[in-house]
């Protein structure tokens, strides 16, 4: 597991969120999770989530990231570092 204390770029976090959201249906009985669905669960706008996914938000709070992780049914480290880094 590569969870060193180095900062994770907003672009990397956004790519992880996008990939995890796209893969959600594989582990949840075919149910797709749209940006709107995640945003609704987290309590942010779909546009804000889209900006996070594109890496345009440089200061996404840890609480928001944890809520996104919860909505995607993954751990916070998986959200931050990606699935490949967690094995």
Instruction: Please report, for the domain that includes residue 14, its CATH number.
Output: 1.10.260.40
Residue 26 lies in a domain: yes
Candidates 80, 79, 81, 86; CA nearest to 23 is 79
CA distance 42 to 45: 9
What does the pLDDT look like over 4-26, one tens digit per residue? 456 899 999 999 999 999 999 88
What does the pLDDT look like over 28-69, one tens digit per residue? 888 889 999 999 999 999 999 999 999 999 999 999 999 999
CA distance 45 to 38: 9
Residue 41 lies in a domain: yes
Domain count of the fold of the chain: 1
Residue 1 lies in a domain: no
CA distance 54 to 51: 5
Candidates 24, 31, 6, 8; CA nearest to 69 is 24
Q: Is the pTM of this model over 0.75?
A: yes
For residue 83, name the pLDDT band (cuts at 50, 70, 90): confident
């Amino acid at each position: 597991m590569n969870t060193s204390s180095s900062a994770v770029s907003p672009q990397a976090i956004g790519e992880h969120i996008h990939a995890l959201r796209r893969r959600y249906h594989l582990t949840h009985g075919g149910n797709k999770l749209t940006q709107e669905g995640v945003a609704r669960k987290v309590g942010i706008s779909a546009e804000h989530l889209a900006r996070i996914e594109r890496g345009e938000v440089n200061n996404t709070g840890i609480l928001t990231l944890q809520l996104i992780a919860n909505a995607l049914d993954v751990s916070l480290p998986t959200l931050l570092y990606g699935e490949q880094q967690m094995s």
